[in-house]
Amino acid sequence: MSVQAKIVAEGAKTTNPKVLAFVEEAKALFKPDAVRWCDGSKEEYQELLKLMVDCGTAMWLNPDKRGNSILVRSDPADVARVEDQTYICSVKKEDAGPTNNWADPAEMKATITKLYDGAMQGRTMYVVPYSMGPVGSPIAGIGVMVTDSAYAVANMHIMTRVGDKVWKALGDSEDFVRGMHSVGYPLPTPKTADVPWPCNSTKNISHFPETREIWSFGSGYGGNALLGKKCHALRIASVKARDEGWMAEHMLILKLTNPKGEVKYMAAAFPSACGKTNLAMLNPTIPGWKAETIGDDICWMKFGEDGRLYAINPETGFFGVAPGTSEASNLNAMRALDENCIFTNVGLTEDEDVYWEDMTKHKPAHAIDWMRRPWTPEADRPAAHPNARFTAPASQCPVIAPEWEDPKGVPIDAILFGGRRASVVPLVTEAEDWKQGTFLGSIMASEKTAAAADAKGDIRRDPMAMLPFCGYHMGDYFAHWLKIGEKGGDKLPKIFYVNWFRKSPEGKFLWPGFAENSRVLKWIFERCDGTAEAIDTPIGKVPTEDALDTDGLDVDDSALKELLKVDIDGWKAELPLIREHYATFGDKLPQGLREELSQLEKRLS
């Protein structure tokens, strides 16, 4: 029997020779007891949940509290992305750049092949066909993932479009990302209540950008095991986007509608802990304005026939950080968590519901923490791991936009960059043009620490919020942004730099943030139409004091002046820090950004 005939006989839903060869090679390497070709059905999803419960790696939550939802607790050694063990294995080391871990692709494959050899003995190898973006969309991309983790497959069901439609869309094309994943550990003994998900002490997440491959071993955690997430959607897709002339960005996508029914679409990039998910799902406080969610994390953009950038959310779910999420901080996210969710490393209440820090006004009297230990509010440890997660279908978000799955995408009017800065950076700044906007994105920063009286903390630069996720040299990434600017001309989105976290000399936040950020979005909306007032400053355009809608807002005039103030001395002090940051990228830093820095210095003088 031929290889193709043999695999088809085992349940393959495709005759694509490249897919069949890939799966057969994986089967020969991993040596699983069985191969299951996933169909993406509801029945299959339920089987996966039951398997996790039966093996003791998950438990059902109270169906009256969280319908059809499970709680999974991980090994304490497997709770987050392992950036120090994440590699970009480009053919040339210089293509990976100084901000990525590089390894020779041939040497890395030889290393991981030894780990993969026989890693699925006694287990099932799942073949997962998935589409990042609406199936058949000209902006979407397809991946095929093999894994031995039921947890990973169940999460992929929520986060991507898994199923037979993907095979039909792929046809005989070779254009798909190949992903291989194994937890590298024996299955837990069935029916043992306290077994964590399996993982291995050796972990490795490697990306091969030229051949569009992802090889992951040893971890069951989301960003390491859900290969459609950061691995495909950003690290591999960013390289593909560079090669093909489009953009794969770490951005939310928001739809904003004014009282007249006019719509603008905005994409925004923020580093962690800067309110990205909250902004994606905010409820505006301004009467008559409406915000809806297209996506909360990833944005793929391609030029449409009219020359504008059109964006899709390539995901179908939210893989959100649970601690800090509450009805006060993100009501719409909480409403999306009522059913059909997977909760990872959160606390468990006495009535078998979930709990995490800041989730409710009142803490439960008793709970079980994420490490299966009794917990009370007096405990000197959190109930949930700080990186505890929820995986929820995006369709359950009450403010999901009707067009969130439109295959042609939505036209982007504005792009926002932001960081957590207690000083220097104003509440909102409009770039003069795409080139200056790229400059502002390239110097994005957040303070890791900031004392109350001294707002200048330790600065961590995270350009475009892509530093951990760009699959190639960041200098070349900046150059790609500038090339997009040359291609798009005057039809490109306007670019803005926002900062919700400016503080007073006493260390108090000057801006209320959260839903009140809709007031800044209103000004951005109106700037896109050229109707809101702004003043020119050395760093770009900022609102006049009366241009922001502050009706009913508890912010006094002195605070508003400070929020919109351009701190000349502060920006002068920033110049050597920017130069130090730019030196990281050596000769790869585009001349256009050097020019922007030089021009900024002249304007500040």
> Which helix (H) or strand (E) element contains residue 238?
helix 237-244
Selected catalytic residue, list 38, 55, 274, 397: 274
The whole-angstrom separation of Cα 79 and Cα 73 is 9
The whole-angstrom separation of Cα 539 and Cα 545 is 17
The whole-angstrom separation of Cα 349 and Cα 478 is 47
Contacts of 305 (CB under 8 A, 6+ apart): none
Residues of each annotated binding site = 81, 221-223, 230, 250, 272-278, 297, 387-389, 420, 514-517
Q: How many CA atoms lie within 13 A of 134 on its CB side?
A: 16
485 close to 492: Cβ distance less than 8 angstroms: yes
Tokens of 412: 């982007």
Tallying the residues shown for the chain, one arrives at: 605
Residue 274 known to be catalytic: yes
Burial 474-490 (b: 16+ CB within 10 A, else e): bbbbbbbbbebbeeeee
Beta bridge partners of 320: 390
Contacts of 182 (CB under 8 A, 6+ apart): 30, 115, 116, 119, 120, 147, 148, 149, 216, 217, 218
Q: Which of 444, 587, 423 is nearest to 509 (CA)?
A: 423
Residues of each annotated binding site for Mn(2+) = 230, 250, 297
* Strand, helix or coil for residue 162: strand
Q: Which of 291, 294, 293 is nearest to 257 (CA)?
A: 291
Q: Which of 171, 222, 462 is nearest to 344 (CA)?
A: 222
Strand ranges inside 538-593, DSSP E: 540-543
Residues with catalytic roles: 274
